[in-house]
């Protein structure tokens, strides 16, 4: 493992997806937070992996290329993180393009649904601006709804209105994302594994079965240290990581002002006190030296 890495955050979002910090701003905030290593994991996007490395200065935290893919199959929903990949590799670029296409199609479908089902309308200028985002999604639509007083807050907008629109087949499969990450030299990791769709919590045999299906597809790790995990959920995921000899990662899921979560808030104070799977991950993942 590289020397002097103790404080890490490997799960953050920028304006490239649904965060409020630009890649430049998140780098500044990471410096202020005193991290030793970090990754930006925007949804279905790798722009930050291209923007941030040229901005790094001597003494900056180590940077790990990252991404988070939203996936679904007949068994449920998954978020698959990818770390240390080559952002110029064709497999990762191809899957990002596919995921972005799905995201745009769903965004347009949701806008049409809100108009037809509830009479929620937005100006052409607002819609054009929304669609010009790198990767528009539910939070962007929800912010517009709050602006027009169609909902009291973003949570209500998503839960009571936006989530009523379902898309049957417009999703990446988890094995697609896993293979694309691995084929690009990266490490595929299951994000916040215990959380499924909505308020669903996946534990015990159901979690074990999910891992047994994904590991043969190439899954290499689990995000066991996570801002939203209880000590019990964290310990269960650490036990699964030990059972299957998986890497372990730690992430806050920071979204800037879109979530009440701070950089570094991942229930892991120090790498030296973490599970061995964290140290193995940091040893094996590709870090950008500064």
- Let me know whether 79 and 188 are in one domain: yes
Give phi and psi for 250, each to the nearest 5. -135, 125
The reported pLDDT for the residue numbered 290 is 56
SS3 category, 268: coil
Q: How many CB atoms lie within 10 A of CB 246?
A: 24
Looking at the chain, the whole-number percentage of residues with pLDDT higher than 90 is 81
Domain stops at, among 164, 179, 204: 164
Residue 235 belongs to some domain of the structure: yes
Tell me: pLDDT of 198 over 80: no
| Domain limit, last residue, from 164, 187, 202 | 164
- The model's confidence at residue 128, banded by pLDDT at 50, 70 and 90, is very high
Axis-axis angle for helices 90-118, 174-183 (nearest 10): 150
CA 233 – CA 200 distance, rounded (Å): 13
Token pair for 289: 């030296």
Question: φ and ψ at 227, to 5 degrees?
Answer: -55, -35
What average pLDDT does the segment 248-271 reach? 94
Tally: H helices and E strands in the chain:
10, 7
Percent of the chain at pLDDT above 70? 98
Asked if the model's pLDDT at residue 261 lies above 80, the reply is: yes
How many whole angstroms separate alpha carbon 66 and alpha carbon 61?
15
CA distance 166 to 110: 9
Residues 32 and 129 in one domain: no
Residue 226 lies in a domain: yes
Domain count, the chain: 2
For residue 157, the enclosing domain spans 97-164
When pLDDT is averaged across residues 222-241 and rounded to a whole number, the result is 97
**pLDDT score of 68:** 96
What radius of gyration do the chain's Cα atoms show? 19
Predicted confidence band at 133 (pLDDT cuts at 50, 70, 90)? confident
Across 90-104, 196-210, 226-240, least confident range: 196-210
């Amino acid at each position: 493992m590289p020397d002097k890495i103790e404080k890490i955050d490997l799960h953050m979002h920028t304006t490239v997806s649904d965060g409020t910090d630009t890649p430049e701003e998140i780098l500044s905030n990471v410096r202020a937070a005193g991290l030793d290593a970090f990754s930006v994991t925007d949804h279905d996007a790798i722009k930050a992996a291209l923007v941030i490395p040229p901005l790094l200065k001597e003494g900056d935290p180590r940077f790990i290329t990252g991404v988070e893919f939203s996936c679904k199959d007949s068994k449920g929903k998954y978020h698959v993180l990818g770390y240390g990949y080559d952002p110029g590799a064709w497999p990762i670029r191809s899957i990002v393009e596919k995921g972005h296409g799905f995201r745009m199609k769903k965004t347009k479908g949701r806008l049409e649904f809100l108009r037809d089902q509830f009479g929620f309308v937005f100006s052409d200028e607002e819609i054009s601006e929304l669609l010009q985002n790198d990767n528009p999604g539910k939070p962007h639509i929800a912010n517009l709804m709050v602006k027009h007083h169609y909902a009291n807050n973003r949570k209500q907008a998503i839960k009571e209105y936006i989530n009523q629109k379902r898309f049957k087949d417009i999703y990446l499969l988890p094995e697609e994302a896993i293979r694309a990450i691995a084929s690009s030299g990266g490490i595929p990791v299951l994000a916040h594994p215990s959380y499924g769709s909505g308020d669903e919590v996946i534990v015990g045999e159901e979690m074990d079965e999910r891992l047994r299906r994904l590991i043969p597809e190439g899954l290499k790790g689990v995000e066991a240290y996570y801002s939203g995990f209880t000590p019990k959920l964290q310990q269960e995921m650490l036990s699964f990581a030990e059972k299957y000899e998986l890497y372990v990662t730690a992430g806050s899921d920071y979204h800037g002002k879109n979530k009440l979560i701070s950089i570094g808030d991942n229930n892991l104070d120090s790498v030296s006190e973490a599970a061995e799977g964290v140290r193995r991950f940091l040893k094996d993942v590709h870090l950008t030296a500064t």
